Amino acid sequence: MTMLKAQYEQRGRVPQDVIHAVEFSEPELKPGQALIEVLAAPINPSDILTLTGEYGMLPPLPAVGGGEGVGRIAALGPETKGPAIGQTVLLPVGCGTWATHVVANAAHLMPLPNEADPKQLSMISVNPPTAALLLSDFATLQAGDWVIQNTANSGVGGYLVQLAKLKGIRTVNVVRRESAVAGVLAQGGDVVLVDGDDLAARVKEATSGAAIRLAVDAVGGMGTERVASCLSEGGAVVNYGAMSGEPCAVSPRNLIFRDVSLKGFWLARWFRVAPKAAQMALYGELAQHITSGKLNAPIHATYPVSRIKEAVIAAHTGGRDGKVLVAPDS
C-alpha cells in the first residue's frame, strides 16, 4: 500500500511551489495510537496562508499541509482503546490532514456518524463552528432578527446562512461580484447585495429599516466600515478575517456617536478556553445537521494527494463557488 503526504520544507509567496507529495512507509503503531485512513480534507484559506507564512500560527518545518478532515480507523496499536476499526472519526485539528493516512492518539479521537457524507463531514472542524459561534457569542439574537455579513459566498458565510435559517434569523449577505448572488440565495440567504459605497442605503431599503445588531466581517479595510454603517445604534461588528489585506476601518461616527463596537474572533483561541463539554456539544449538533442534510457546503473539486500542487492552485484561485478537497476517490 502506497502512502502519501503533502509536505513542505519551506514557506513562500507561491503556495503551490512549496508543497509536494512524498511517499512514506506504514508506521509501526505504539500503544494508544490509531492509524487513520483519510477520507477527505479541505483546503482552507488558513492553509494557504500557512504555506505562505502569513497565518497567525505556523507549525515547525518540515510540515504536512492540511488543518482539518475526517478519516476511518484502519488499525489500532497494541492494547489500544478507542473508536473501533472502521469508525469514521474527526481528524485532530492541525495534524497534517493532506495525506492518505495519519497517526493519532486514539483516546482523543471524536467518532462521527458513519452514514454521513465524509466530504461534508471533512469541513466540520473550522468553518461550521466559526459560523455557529459568530451567531451565538456576540449578540442575543431571536427568531425574526437580522444579521449582516460580508464574504457571504465563503465557506463560513454559507454555513452562517444555513445555521441562521435553522434558528429563524434573517440574513443580509454581502458579496463582491454579481455572479455570487445566486449561490447565496440558493443556500437560503434572505437578502443578497453586491458590496458598494451605498451599501447602508440599500440594506435599509431591503430590510424596511429593520434594526440590525450584529455584523460579521471578513474583509477588513473599508469593508468593515460599510457593514458597521448598516448596524443599529449599539450594534457589534465581529471581524474574523482580512481578505482585503487592510486593517479594519471604523469611523468615529460609528464608534463614538453610534456606539458601534468592533471585536475579533479566532476559533483557535476559542478552542484554548472553551470547556471540552462545550466543544463536544457544538460538534455533536453540527454533525447531526450535516448527517440530516440540513447543513452542507458546495464542493468545487476534489484531488488526490498525488495532485496536491493542482489542488492548491485551484484553492488559491478566485471565482470559485465551492471548496477544494483532498480526497482519495477523486
Question: Which residues are known catalytic residues?
Answer: 55
Instruction: Identify whether the C-beta of residue 230 lies closer than 8 Å to the C-beta of residue 148.
Output: yes
Label the pairing between strands 3-8 and 63-64. antiparallel
The angle, 0 to 180 degrees and rounded to 10, between the axes of the packed helices 276-292 and 127-136 is: 110
Nearest in space to 218 (alpha carbons), one of 151, 309, 148, 270: 151
Determine the Cα–Cα distance for residues 49 and 14; give it in Å rounded to an integer. 10
User: Which residue matches cell numbers 495532485?
Assistant: 307
Three-class SS of the chain: CCEEEEEECCCCCCHHHHCEEEEECCCCCCCCEEEEEEEEEECCHHHHHHHHCCCCCCCCCCEECCCCCEEEEEEECCCCCCCCCCCEEECCCCCCCCECEEEEEHHHCEECCCCCCHHHHCCCCCHHHHHHHHHHCCCCCCCCCEEEECCCCCHHHHHHHHHHHHHCCEEEEEECCHHHHHHHHHCCCCEEEECCCCHHHHHHHHCCCCCEEEEEECCCEHHHHHHHCCCCCCCEEEECCCCCCCCECCCHHHHHHCCCEEEECCHHHHHHHCCHHHHHHHHHHHHHHHHHCCCCCCEEEEECHHHHHHHHHHHHCCCCCCEEEECCCC
CA distances from 102 to 2, 150, 244 (A): 13, 35, 35
